């Protein structure tokens, strides 16, 4: 095992399953034998506020916070939150983002416009960019709420963690009634 620490940022808005995805990611990394540290930053506590989760893993990790400009992978659940978090990524980092726009209150109240051209701006700065139609893939798997697991599957391909550990982490963290749909959503995300 090298001394390299892998830095992953999960960003989006409340209610998107970001915290569950970070729990599954952390568990998979622990099962693979890595030291793991995790931290969450919640904006508003109710649905709709910004949520950022930091997951760091490696042979030995001391801090749960990804230093600005050192993120390896930005795992975005919503496009504006993804674009807002780009400064956290290092040059040459990867972006896996859900093709979803959730308007914040300022946009809903007509005070601001939702920014245009986000996909193009992200792609221009980070060529290793995968845009995922998480809602459609999750709906095809059986539940639109499994979009977080679709994205997790897509991110899993960029990490040195065996598939068996991801599946064990899903089994541990996802309620039994939702497990089959989430496993299918994860596999479909991995296939992207």
Per-residue pLDDT of the chain (192 residues; tens, 9 = 90+): 567 999 999 999 988 999 999 999 999 999 999 999 999 876 654 556 788 999 999 999 999 999 999 999 999 999 999 999 999 999 999 999 999 999 888 888 999 999 999 999 999 999 999 999 999 999 999 999 999 999 999 999 999 999 999 999 999 999 999 999 999 999 999 999
Strand 129-132 with 89-98, pairing: parallel
Spatial CA neighbour of 29 closest among 9, 59, 53 = 59
Q: What is the pTM of this model?
A: 0.93
The pLDDT assigned to 50 comes to 85
Spatial CA neighbour of 143 closest among 183, 172, 171 = 183
Instruction: Give the separation between CA 6 and CA 13, rounded to whole angstroms.
Output: 23
The pLDDT assigned to 41 comes to 78
Taking the domains of the chain in order of start, what are their residue ranges? 6-190
Instruction: Give the separation between CA 37 and CA 54, rounded to whole angstroms.
Output: 8
Report how many helices (DSSP H) and strands (DSSP E) the chain contains, helices first.
Answer: 8, 6
Which CATH code fits 6-190?
3.40.920.10
């Amino acid at each position: 095992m090298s001394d390299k620490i892998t830095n992953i940022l999960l960003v989006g808005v409340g209610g998107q399953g970001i915290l569950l995805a970070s729990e599954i990611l952390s568990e998979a990394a622990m099962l693979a034998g890595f030291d793991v540290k995790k931290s969450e930053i919640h904006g508003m506590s109710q649905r709709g506020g910004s949520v950022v989760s930091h997951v760091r893993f490696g042979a030995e990790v001391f801090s749960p916070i990804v230093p600005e400009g050192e993120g390896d992978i930005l795992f975005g659940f919503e496009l504006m939150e993804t674009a807002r978090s780009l400064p956290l990524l290092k040059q040459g980092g990867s972006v896996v983002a859900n093709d979803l726009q959730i308007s914040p209150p300022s946009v809903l109240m007509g005070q601001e416009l939702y920014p245009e051209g986000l996909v193009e701006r992200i792609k221009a700065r980070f060529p290793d960019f995968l845009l995922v139609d998480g809602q459609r893939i999750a709906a095809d798997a059986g539940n639109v709420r499994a979009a977080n697991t679709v994205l997790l599957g897509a991110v899993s391909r960029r990490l040195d963690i065996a598939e068996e550990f991801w599946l064990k982490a899903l089994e541990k963290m996802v309620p039994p009634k939702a497990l089959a749909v989430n496993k299918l959503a994860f596999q479909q995300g991995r296939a992207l």
